[in-house]
Structure 1
Amino acid sequence: MGKSRRGPRQQFAALPWRRTEAGVEVLLITSRETRRWVIPKGWGKKGESASIAAAREALEETGVGGRLDATPLGHYRYQKQLKSGRLQRVRVAVYALEVVHEHEDWPEKAIREKFWTTIAEAATLVDEPELRALIAGFSP
């Protein structure tokens, strides 16, 4: 596996959340290949704003929609392994998404699991240290 010599590429993510009688919950999903717990994220499309890209990824990957903050909560970095074996450095801007709609069907339903959980538990389930800190510090 070679290392990337380029600067990091940019992805956009949503941190879906909701209020329940028990308190605030956040939504995690499994990644497609490694089945790790992550938040919905992906590449932006040409002409698409960062926040719209984050909202689209949340809808495609989890079937949720709602009110998205226009300003990112923060950023985290990770290394994405490409099919070639090369590692690509990625910087992810994360936007809070207050969930208003949860659809019964969505494009990636068959390939991902969803898990609503507390902020504290979600922070222990993700692997990336910067994402863990971002979730742990989240307060809507």
Structure 2
Amino acid sequence: MVAVVSQENVAALVSRTGRELQRYRKGRRQVVGCIPYRFKIGEKTSLDVVSDELEVLVISSQKGKGMLFPKGGWELDESKKEAALRETMEEAGVRGIVGGKLGKWSFKSKTHDTFYEGYMFPLLVQEQLEFWPEQNVRQRIWMSVTEAREVCQHWWMKEALDRLVNRPSGQKQLGHYRDNKRVLGSMNCERDAKSASVNSVASLEGRAQLF
């Protein structure tokens, strides 16, 4: 689903700036992020490998080459999940349902002598905005899990992606998706069969009236 937001309303979708509310723990800046994902719509997919049926959304980096998942500072007036939702909307222009935490990682900045603690969450995308705060400075691309592993520039985000694909809850959710897909397909077949039967009866009645 792509949501159209008027350019006049984009002003209400503004990225937070400044670090007055930034959280730190033992000198390490606290950051949170999301892996936005969706299920592919198609028939030619493996029924055994979750990654074959997932697409994830990556964004371009503002400060260098490469791609990554949306992430940013966790601030004092919000929970981790609220921060993850906010950063994902600001940087990637999507909204959805945040799942359970994928994990926590400690890492050092590639460009500064700064240490961080990062938390990552999965986000099942339900809304994709046409306009969003950082649309002029970032690109967003849907791609396969395999492609995302190749282009993602952060090792800890790659680990988070692997956890998303391999976690039991992901397997369970995918199972529900497949079951629903089969049920809908069965319902459509029954509906088509009933429709064909009704049309056939109507045709026979019409012929009988002619005679």
2:15 maps to none
Aligned to 1:42: 72
Question: SS state of the match for residue 123, structure 1?
Answer: helix
Q: Identity, % of aligned pairs?
A: 27
* Structure 1 stretches of at least 4 aligned residues deviating more than 3 Å after TM superposition: none
After TM superposition, the score normalised by the length of structure 2 is: 0.58
SS in 2 for 1:111: coil
The amino acid that maps onto 1:17 is Y
**Deviates further, 58-67 or 33-42:** 33-42
In the alignment of these two chains, the number of paired residues is: 131
Which secondary structure state, in structure 1, belongs to the residue aligned with residue 86 of structure 2?
helix
TM normalised by structure 1 equals 0.85
- Tell me, yes or no, if structure 1 residue 136 matches structure 2 residue 197: no
- Summarize the alignment of residues 24-39 of structure 1 with structure 2, pairs less than 5 Å apart: 24-39=54-69
Q: Which has the higher contact order (CA 8 A, sep 6+)?
A: 1
Considering only CA atoms, is the larger Rg found in Structure 1 or Structure 2? Answer: 2
Matched, 1:98 2:127: no
**Which one has the bigger helix percentage?**
2
Give the C-alpha shift of residue 61 in structure 1.
Answer: 0.4
CA RMSD of superposed structures (Å): 1.7
Instruction: For residue 126 of structure 1, report the CA deviation from its aligned partner.
Output: 1.3
> Cα distance, 1:138 vs. partner?
2.0
Name which of 53, 75, 80 aligns with 2:83: 53
Alpha-carbon distance, 1:81 to partner: 5.5
* CA gap 1:133/1:125 in 2 versus in 1, 3 angstroms: same
| Maintained 8 Å contact 2:108/2:116 | yes
Structure with a larger share of its residues in strand: 1
**Structure 1 counterpart of 2:54, one-letter code:** V
Whole-angstrom distance in 1 between the partners of 2:106 and 2:92: 22
The 2-side partners of 1:44 and 1:132 are apart by 20
Q: Is this contact kept in 2: 1:75–1:94, CA < 8 A?
A: yes
- Distance, in Å, in 2 between the alignment partners of 1:77 and 1:116 is 27
Q: Is residue 2:41 matched to residue 1:21? A: yes
- Aligned residue number for residue 118 of structure 1: 144
Q: Which residue of 1 aligns with 2:103?
A: 74
Report if aligned partners of 1:73, 1:94 keep a CA contact under 8 Å in 2.
yes
